Amino acid sequence: MKIAIIGTGNLGKSIAKGLITSNAITTLYLTKRNLDAIQEFDGYQNVYLTSNNAEAVKQSDIIIFAVQPAHFETILRDIKPLLTEKHVLISTITGFLIPKMEAIVGSDQFIIRAMPNTAIAVGKSITCLCSNEKGAERIKIAEAIFNRLGTSIAIPEKQMQAATVVCASGIAFWMRLIRATTQAAIQLGFEAETAQDLAMHTCEGAASLLIATGNHPEQEIDKVTTPKGCTIEGLNEMEHKGLSSSLIQGMVTSFNKINTIKTEQL
């Protein structure tokens, strides 16, 4: 696959790492205005670094946009004359709706929106996808790419904002939980490095159990909570302090914020 990433920042770099590691590319063009920050990709076979978006678009079939929302419209207008029937446009841009993209490049383009997260760098992103009518003909290509870099799921565009909070921002939420459990482990006597190992592998184990079994979290909790034991004592104390409520309220607040920000201000 000949892929270009337009805007190789935090997310673009994560996607690039995933694509390179999984050998998913024939050629990969990475664009950024200042190339200093992406020199780590210099020297990989068939990976080209450039600040010339037009060049990257001309040389590629699949164009993944990962710029800040405020920059996207200008970039789309600039590359519009270069688009041909080979191009599939995949936008990761938060809050930039398909009708707005169609108004710029036309509804006859293959347009897909993807909401991955930074775990794409290690092939573990859950990526939500939606497309315009034309793009539905190419959604399989997007699924093929993102399934190599984790798991993908097709959703209606109206759920993309919620997917952003749950999956993209979700990485930050889970990191904070891992950090908090690490701090607790240190207080309980582990060295910092060991404490983090214990916290992150336990987190991975919990998620893997649910993925492998399809069980509900409470089924797995029931297996751990010995009557009158330490687990239920700790769990109930966390709930008295508002653990579940705090997470739910935080995510709803995050969602409300996304819905109030105009694309130009994001």
Ligand X SMILES: NC(=O)C1=CN([C@@H]2O[C@H](COP(=O)(O)OP(=O)(O)OC[C@H]3O[C@@H](n4cnc5c(N)ncnc54)[C@H](O)[C@@H]3O)[C@@H](O)[C@H]2O)C=CC1
Ligand Y SMILES: O=C(O)[C@@H]1CCC=N1
Site string for ligand X, 36-55 (x = CB under 6 A): -----------------x--
Distance, CA of 142 to CA of 127 (rounded, Å): 10
Closer CB to ligand X, 135 or 185, in the complex: 135
Q: Which does 109 bind (CB under 5 to 8 A by kind): ligand X, ligand Y, none?
A: none
Q: Are 16 and 41 in contact (CB under 8 A)?
A: yes
Among 4, 28, 64, 66, binds ligand X (CB under 6 A): 66
**Number of residues in the chain:** 266
Please tell me what DSSP assigns to residue 228: T
Which residues, at least 6 apart from 121, have a Cβ–Cβ distance to it below 8 Å?
A: 13, 14, 15, 17, 18
Min dist CB 116 to ligand X, Å, is 6
Among the listed ranges 29-37, 97-105, 162-170, 173-181, the one in contact with ligand Y (CB under 6 A) is: 162-170
Query: How does 32-56 read in b/e, with b if 16+ C-beta sit within 10 Å?
Result: beeeeebeebeeeeebbbeeebeeb
Footprint on residues 151-210 left by ligand X (CB under 6 A): 168
Assess 112 for contact with ligand X (CB under 6 A): no
Q: Which does 32 bind (CB under 5 to 8 A by kind): ligand X, ligand Y, none?
A: ligand X
Within 13 Å and on the Cβ side, how many CA atoms surround 7?
19
Residues that bind ligand Y (CB under 6 A): 94, 164, 168-169
Q: Which residues bind ligand X (CB under 6 A)?
A: 6-12, 31-33, 53, 66-69, 71, 75, 92-94, 115-118, 168
